[in-house]
Amino acid sequence: MYKLDQFMNDLEQRHPAQPEFIQAVHEVVESIIDVVNRNPRYLHARILDRITEPDRVVIFKVEWENDDGQVEVNRAYRVQYNNALGPYKGGIRFHPSVTLGGLKFLGFEQIFKNSLTSLPMGGGKGGADFNPKGKSENEIQRFCRSFMTELHKYIGPHTDVPAGDIGVGAREIGFMYGQYRRLLDENTGVLTGKGRNWGGSLARPEATGFGAVYFADEMLKAAGDGLEGKTIGLSGFGNVSWGAAMKATQLGAKVVTLSGPDGYIYDKDGINTEEKFQYMVELRASNNDVVAPYAEKFGAKFFPGKRPWEVDVDIAIPSAIQNELDGNDAKQLISNGTRYVIEASNMGCTPEAISAFREAGVWFAPGKAANAGGVAVSGLEMSQNAMMLSWTFEEVEAKLREIMRRIHANCHREGKQSDGFVNYARGANIAGFRKVADAMIEQGY
Ligand code: 2IT
C-alpha cells in the first residue's frame, strides 16, 4: 500500500529543490493513490515509483554567438519521461526560468495529457534557459542551430518528437528543423508545429487555444450552461491566448483581457476582430514580451504590474505559465462570481487556488485535459507526415473537436461525484494514468 505523505517525502528526498516537479507529482498522486492501492497489479508492479522516475534526461551545453561577436553559453535539456504509449512527445521551452525541475514537471504532466488525447504518444519535454526577449532574429537563428546540433543525437520520428512551447513558435521550429535536415538529410517530420508548406499541419498554431475553448464549451454544457454571451478573462498574449480569443469569439463569448510580464490590458469592447487577433501575432513576433502596446493601439486600459484576475468575468482561462493564478487570485475571482476556470497553461493554478475553487463549487478544468488540443494536433501532424499527405483545415479541426469532446467525456466520467460536482482534475489524472500504467505492466519491466 502506498501512503501519500510517505511517498511524497521519499520523492522529495530523491529530487531535492524541484518544487514545481513535486507540486505536479503531488497533484497526480493525490488523485490516483486510491485507484493504485485498490489494484494488486499496480501495487505489485510498484507503478508509482516507476511512473514518477523519468526514463532518461539529457543535459547539454549550447554555445552561440551574439550580434556583438561574443560567445554565449546556455544550458539545455530533454526530459524523456515515459514512452509506454508511443514516442516521447512534448514541447521545447526557451525561457530564462527553465530548470531541470521545471522540465520534469512539464514532462510528467505531458505523459497523462498525451494519454488523454487517445493518440499513441509518450511524454517528454525540453528547453533551455535562453531568453528570447530582445534578441535579434539572427541571434535566435544561431541559438536554434546550436541547440539542434546537439539535440539531434537524441530525437527521431519514432523515438522522440519535440514541438514548440513558451518562446518556441513556428520561426524557431523552422530554424531547428532546418538544422536537423542539414545534419541528417532526411524529411521525416521529426518536429511538429512545422510550417504549412514543409510538413506542418493546418490548425496546429490554433490548436491549443481552440481546444481549450472546446473543452470550456463541453464543460459549460455539462453544467447546463453555455458559452454564448459569457465574458472571458485570458492571461498571456501568445499563441495559446490568440487561438482561445478567436474560438471564444466564434462561439459567442467576449474576451476582455490579455496579459504580459508588464501587466494586463482590459478591452471592454472585446478582443474580437481580425485586426486585434492579427495584432497579437505582431506583438509576439516583436520579441519585446510586453502587452501594453495593445492598450495604446486599441484604446484599451492598461494596468501595469497587475494580473487580470481582478476583472469581473464569467470564465477565467489562464494561458501564460505555471502558477500564474494563486490562492488570492482565486478568492478574488470567486468573490466576483466567476463560475468556470479552464487552465490553458500547464499547471496555471496553484494548489491553494484549486482547493479554493473546489470549496466554492467553481468548475475547474486542469491543463493536462483542457490544453491537450495542441499536442493532439501535433499527433495528427505526425500521422500526416507518416502518410505523406495533408488534411484540410476543416478536417483537422473536426478531429480536434472530437478529441476534445472525448477528453471531456472521460474526465467527466471519472471525476463525477455523488453530490453532482465534477472534479475534473481528479478525473483527468485517473483517466490519463490508467492507460499508461496498464501499458507499462503489459510491457513488463
Ligand atoms: O504543453 C504542451 O502540450 C505543448 N507545448 C505542445 C507539445 C507538442 O508536442 O505539441
- CB-CB contact of 376 with 117 (8 Å): yes
Question: Which residue, judged by its Cα, is nearest atom 10 of ligand 1?
Answer: 375
Min mean pLDDT across 256-260, 285-289, 368-372 is at: 285-289
Pocket test for ligand 1, best of 208, 321, 343 (most atoms within 8 A of CB): 208
Residues near 214 by Cβ (< 8 Å), separated by ≥ 6?
A: 247, 373, 400, 401, 404, 405
Q: Which amino acid is at 329?
A: D
Residue 83 CB-half CA count within 13 A: 14
If you average pLDDT over every residue of the chain, what do you get? 97
Residue position matching grid coordinates 474580437: 272
Query: Which residue stretches of 185-323 are H helix?
Result: 204-222, 239-250, 274-285, 292-298
Q: How far is it, in rounded angstroms, from Cα 125 to Cα 81?
A: 8
pLDDT of 386 reads 97
pLDDT tens for each residue of 203-234: 999 999 999 999 999 999 999 999 999 999 99
- CB-CB contact of 78 with 155 (8 Å): yes
Residue 44 CB-half CA count within 13 A: 7
Rounded to the nearest angstrom, the gap between the alpha carbon of residue 158 and the centroid of all alpha carbons in its chain is 22
Residue 258 near ligand 1, beta carbon < 6 Å: no
Residue position matching grid coordinates 519521461: 81
Question: Which residue, judged by its Cα, is nearest atom 4 of ligand 1?
Answer: 91
Nearest CA among 147, 152, 175, 174 for reference residue 74 = 147
Centre of ligand 1 from the C-alpha of residue 69, in Å? 33
pLDDT tens for each residue of 273-327: 999 999 999 999 888 999 999 999 999 999 999 999 999 999 999 999 999 999 9
pLDDT of 215 reads 98
Residue 322 near ligand 1, beta carbon < 6 Å: no
Q: Please, what is the Cα angle at 20 between 18 and 22, to 5 degrees?
A: 70
- CB-CB contact of 214 with 377 (8 Å): no
pLDDT of 28 reads 98
**Of the listed 104, 125, 247, 368, which one is catalytic?**
125
Which pTM does this prediction carry? Answer: 0.98
Centre of ligand 1 from the C-alpha of residue 256, in Å? 26
pLDDT of 149 reads 98
Residue position matching grid coordinates 463549487: 361
The CA-based diameter of the chain, rounded to the nearest angstrom, is 65
Can 194 be counted among the known catalytic residues? no
pLDDT of 122 reads 98
Mean pLDDT of 172-195: 96
pLDDT of 347 reads 98
pLDDT of 330 reads 98
CB atoms within 10 A of CB 87: 20
C-alpha distances in Å from residue 409, one per residue of 116, 230, 262, 402, 416:
11, 22, 38, 11, 10
Residue 353 near ligand 1, beta carbon < 6 Å: no
Q: How far is it, in rounded angstroms, from Cα 400 to Cα 408?
A: 12
The pLDDT > 70 percentage for the chain reads 100
CATH number of 54-198: 3.40.50.10860
- CB-CB contact of 310 with 266 (8 Å): no
Q: How far is it, in rounded angstroms, from Cα 415 to Cα 385?
A: 35
pLDDT of 343 reads 98
Query: Which residue stretches of 38-99 are H helix?
Result: 40-44, 47-51
* Same fold for the pair 54-198 and 207-370: yes
The domain segmentation of the chain, as residue ranges, is: 1-52, 54-198, 207-370
- CB-CB contact of 112 with 86 (8 Å): no
Is CATH 3.40.50.720 the classification given to domain 207-370? yes
User: What's the full length of the chain, in residues?
Assistant: 445
Check residue 332 and give left, alpha or beta (phi > 0: left; psi -120 to 50: alpha).
Answer: alpha
Rounded to the nearest angstrom, the gap between the alpha carbon of residue 113 and the centroid of all alpha carbons in its chain is 9
- Sign for the pseudo-dihedral over CA of 397, 120, 365, 206: negative
Rounded to the nearest angstrom, the gap between the alpha carbon of residue 366 and the centroid of all alpha carbons in its chain is 10
